[in-house]
Amino acid sequence: MVSVSPKITKVGFIGTGVMGSSMAKHIADAGYELHIFSRTKSKASELIEQGMIWHDRPAEIAEICDVVITIVGYPSDVEELYLGEGGLVPSAKQGAVLIDMTTSSPALASRIYKEALIKGVHTLDAPVSGGDIGARNAALSIMVGGDRQTFDAVLPIFERMGKQILLQGGPGAGQHTKMANQIAIASNMIGVCEALVYAKNAGLDLDVVLQSIGTGAAGSWSLTNLAPRIIAGNFEPGFYVKHFIKDMGIALDAAEEMNITLPGLTLARELYTKIADAGLAEKGTQALYQAW
């Protein structure tokens, strides 16, 4: 096996969206030379103004960078980006590390790992939790799948973006852990929304209710961070409804492969699909409240 590049100086970042732009800034602030690509160049204008180096093709980044980080939309995007013609795996230099932080398919993560190994390239699947707030505050939870040696080599980069960073196991383990995370969030969001609907119809002051239940056994990240947005009528995305529906589909497919049923997740997907069909796919996950 080809070892990881001994000195990491050039880092590529592909996907500078709601979360990716903050993550890229934290890495650049650590002194790494940042090379970036996004499907819409105008959305990366602020990063370019800050000195990050724009490339017109992802392959150009893979050819020169020691580490390339990606956070894109869907498993189909990941597959094309990594394994397609001119993709990251065939373009990356030997010893490079490719880190996919998209929430994607565990099976695809394992496939990318195997294809990359043949090329002398290392990969990690490292999806995150914490949304736009976690990305902005460098406080993401990062769930990693892959080899220990590769994980240890890039840990300083992970530490620029997150607080809870754990190697969960081999290839695909990071994605399986993220599925567990999304399953917990999905049913919890139903509870958060129903609690607020109940409290509102009971004539209670929602802000005062939140002060009480948020510090007790009902407390959760969603209740603390997203319930105030619901109360304020703010449904703008920290994490898109359309992407959450995608994640729930991945989890349900994986559950079917393991011959298990997840009724809470099934209900949550039905409710989220309902609001997406009503035109809320581009809103944040807290927009589930509007299903009621």
Distance CA 283, CA 272 (A): 11
Distance CA 234, CA 276 (A): 16
3-state secondary structure 3-49: CCCCCCCEEEEECCCCCHHHHHHHHHHCCCEEEEECCCHHHHHHHHH
Q: In terms of Cα–Cα distance, which of 56, 67, 140 is closest to 103?
A: 140
Distance CA 21, CA 132 (A): 10
Whether 260 and 223 have beta carbons less than 8 Å apart is answered as no
C-alpha to C-alpha distances, 267 to 143, 149, 178, 271, 273, nearest whole angstrom: 26, 40, 19, 6, 10
246 catalytic residue (yes or no): no
Distance CA 47, CA 29 (A): 12
Q: Cα dihedral sign for 112, 113, 118, 119?
A: positive
Whether 56 and 75 have beta carbons less than 8 Å apart is answered as no
Among candidate residues 10, 25, 178, 283, the one labeled active-site is 178
Catalytic residues: 178
